[in-house]
Structures are given as structure tokens and as C-alpha cells.
Amino acid sequence: MKTDEYKARLEEYRALTEKRLGELFADMDDDIAPLGVSMRYSLLAGGKRLRPVFALEFARLCGCADALDVACSVELLHTYSLIHDDLPCMDDDDLRRGIPTNHKKFGEWQALLSGDALQAEAFLLIAQAKLPDACRVEAIRILSSAAGINGICSGQYLDIAGEGKKQDVGALLRINRFKTSALISAACMMGCAAAGAFDERMTAAGKFGEALGLAFQIRDDILDVIGEEKVIGKDVGSDEKRGRVTFASLLGTEKASLVAADLASDAKTALRAGFEDTGFLEWLTDELTVRIN
């Protein structure tokens, strides 16, 4: 019975997110409307919407019922990072979520500007949210930290700079704390920030997001080896082609799965340290650790 309730909550959060995202950048001046089309192409291309889900759930746990724009801001920033990661100068990918990447559809310069615009609009969305000033400032602080040198930019730098070089588990954990965990952890903490929960709950949320983000990335690495392109919606085997060392290539898929399971357990432990109503997030953690896409 609980599983059905959790699935319904997940779909409710996703539906709220999709509706709000669908309202953005739809009414732009005619001469810049094509930029909006490009932004919306990637923003509305589907995806798990996990980061908004985490933000909304932590906001609920902390007593805030109006965190939707804060939650959606993380998805705007995440989408910008995907557009830029896919560019020829970065990962040079042709597919994202089962459709051509933004630069394949619109060209490199428009993809670059679409990503830039989405990043800026993410912070504007928080700034205009109907929340107390302190909550908005803290949410902006958290997201900007995860977006910069303490987050995804450094993660992507280390990932690309490490191509063709030897890596150990410690190096991979450092890369992916920046590249993946930082933004997932930020989404969790931003939900707390929206509620004004600047206390041990935010600390617990951040630790949960960091451990889960690592488990999520390890599962991604495994799917790049064993996944099916039609199911995961992007090129399979791309890490090996680029000469990148991943958890799957370094440890093997079986041992990597065990590491992911241990990290998922760490995420649950961190969660329980700050919250009592943890059922939904624990269920979602289990689902993500064994997902096939």
C-alpha cells in the first residue's frame, strides 16, 4: 500500500514540476522567440525531474507548501549543464533523453546561449519566488555554490581533464561529488531553505543528497556499460570511447553495484538523523539505485 502512495507522490511532484516548467519562456518577443524554443526544447524533453522532487519533498518535511519555483530553478540549472556538457568541446554527445542534443538541433552557438540563459533564469526564478527574503537568499547561495567551482563546473573540468589518465576510487569520488552530488545535495538543502529550516535538518538533507548523488552516478556508470540506448535515451559506451575511467570500468559492474548500495545505505542513515517521516525518500533511494534508465 505504501509503495502505491509513494508512486503517487512522485508523480504528483513531477506533474507540478512539468506544469510550471511548461509556463516558462513560452511568451518571448518575436525576434528572440527562437531562443525560447531552443531553451524549452531541452527543458521540456522529459527526464526524471529528481532534483525538483527532492526539493519539494524536503520542503514538505520542513513545513513549506510553496517551494515550486525554488524546485524548478534547480531543473533550469541542471538543464543548462546538460546542454553545455553535450557540446562538441565537452562530451560531444548526439543524443539526450532519446532525442538529438540541443546543438544537433539548433547549432552550437544557439545551444550555448540557451544554456547561458537557463542558468541566469534559474536564479531569477528564486529571486522572484514568494518566500521570505532570508529563504530566497539562502536558496540562491546554495544553488550558486553547487553551480560553480564547488560544484558542477569543477566536476566537469576534472572529468574531462582526467580522460586517458589513471584514476583511483578516491579521485572518482572527488569528481562525482562535484559533478553529480553537488546539485542533488543542493536541491535537498534548497527545499529546507524554502521552509526557513537553517538547522540540523538542512545538514541532514545535504548529507543525504551527497551520498545518494554518488550512488546515482555509479548506477549511471553501470548503465553506460550494460544499458540499452533506447531505454536510457543516450549513447551507450561513451565513457569507454573517450577513455574515461568510471566506477564501472575501475571496479567492474558487480562491485560497483555493491558500492552504490553502501552509499544508498549511508544516504538513509543521514536522512534518519534529521527527519522522522523518511519513507518516501528511502523508497526513492532504493528505486534509483537499481534503475534501468
Splitting the chain (293 residues) into consecutive groups of 10 residues, what average pLDDT does each group show?
Answer: 91 98 96 98 96 98 96 98 96 92 98 98 98 98 97 95 90 95 98 98 98 95 78 61 83 94 97 97 95 79
Domains of the chain, earliest start first: 2-289 (1.10.600.10)
User: CA 23, 25, 31, 32: dihedral to nearest 10 degrees?
Assistant: -170
Strand partners, 99: 96
Question: To which residue does cell 521552509 refer?
Answer: 195
pLDDT at 231: 56
Residue 281, burial from CB neighbour count under 10 angstroms (0-12, 13-18, 19+): buried
Q: How far apart are CA 17 and CA 53, in angstroms?
A: 8
Eight-state DSSP code of residue 27:
S
Q: How far apart are CA 143 and CA 33, in angstroms?
A: 27
Q: How far apart are CA 31 and CA 200, in angstroms?
A: 48
Residue 127 near residue 140 (C-beta atoms within 8 A): yes
CB atoms within 10 A of CB 231: 11
* pTM of the complete model: 0.94
pLDDT at 245: 87
Eight-state DSSP code of residue 181:
I
pLDDT at 234: 57
Alpha-carbon distances, residue 249 vs 93, 168, 237 (angstroms) = 20, 11, 11
